[in-house]
Amino acid sequence: MDETWEVVRQDDLGNAFTVSTHDTRVQALARVLVLEGGVPHRQLYRVVGPPAATDRTNRDLYLHVLGVGRDVRSASWSLSAFLRALWKVSLPLRDQEALAPDDVAALFTAAAVVAPAPYDPAWSIKDLALPGDAPHDHADWERVILSQLADLEDFVHHPPGPDARFGVDAPRPSGSGERATPPRWYNFEPATYLECAVAGALGGWDAADGQRTPRPGAPQKSLVRLLPRLTWGDLSRVLVCGQLYE
């Protein structure tokens, strides 16, 4: 019998009804994030189905994110639009200390189908510096992604030029707020950013995928390993690798 997962909504009287049915657990979790509408989790929706995870290893997550990258490339998304959508769908999960790999995969899936949040000009001048030495919670992860969005907005007004893929610093003009990320950028397109984000932070790539070419004599693939629950600090590193990893 085929496995399916249902998204179920519970009303104020305790009655539950099925909203949608999905072929994978990640698709169902992503649907919940979209339905929550970018607000703190209200526990109105839940996923019903086999508890087994869809994405267990770094390889599983890497391949999943490659697929998301292909989707957003086909839809001609800008990197800013995708990151604004990613920030939006993260809000229902902000009270969780760590996310299972399926929840991380669902974040990226949901971001590819939800309308992005509008850019807030206040982000360009806001103090987004981390309060500690390293990102810790969702608030810190938010500082990282908003810092990247502010940089991308600056690049709109000060284009990086044709050699940007070789590395360029964000302009960060006078009046910019402090930011949580390094100024250096290599990846400006969503599919490339996503591939580098997971490959750099978590691994899971294989040269046979056709996405990266290792140097002569270097390993042709990364080690495949089970993924633990990922903290917001881990996910902050994913974002920074999206910006910096080559």
Residues 33 and 137 in one domain: no
Side-chain half-sphere of 236: how many Cα atoms within 13 Å? 23
What integer pLDDT is reported at residue 68 of this predicted model? 98
53 lies in a domain?
no
Residues 131 and 160 in one domain: yes
Residues 164 and 86 in one domain: yes
Which residue range is the domain that position 232 belongs to?
58-244
What integer pLDDT is reported at residue 102 of this predicted model? 97
228 lies in a domain?
yes
141 lies in a domain?
yes
Give the integer Cα–Cα distance in Å for 233 and 223. Answer: 22
Q: Rounded to two decimals, what is the model's pTM?
A: 0.94
Residues 32 and 93 in one domain: no
Residues 88 and 24 in one domain: no
Count of structural domains within the chain: 2
Residues 32 and 128 in one domain: no
121 lies in a domain?
yes
174 lies in a domain?
yes
What integer pLDDT is reported at residue 39 of this predicted model? 61
What integer pLDDT is reported at residue 163 of this predicted model? 85
End-to-end CA distance of the chain: 43
What integer pLDDT is reported at residue 1 of this predicted model? 43
Residues 117 and 36 in one domain: no
67 lies in a domain?
yes
In the chain (246 residues long), the average pLDDT of successive 10-residue segments reads 84 84 95 80 80 92 97 97 97 94 97 96 97 96 98 94 90 95 97 98 96 90 97 98 96
Question: CA dihedral defined by 22, 26, 30, 32, rounded to 10 degrees?
Answer: 70
What integer pLDDT is reported at residue 208 of this predicted model? 95
What integer pLDDT is reported at residue 42 of this predicted model? 58
Residues 214 and 135 in one domain: yes
Residues 209-225: b if buried by 16+ CB within 10 A, e if exposed: eebbeeeeeeeeebeee
Residues 80 and 23 in one domain: no
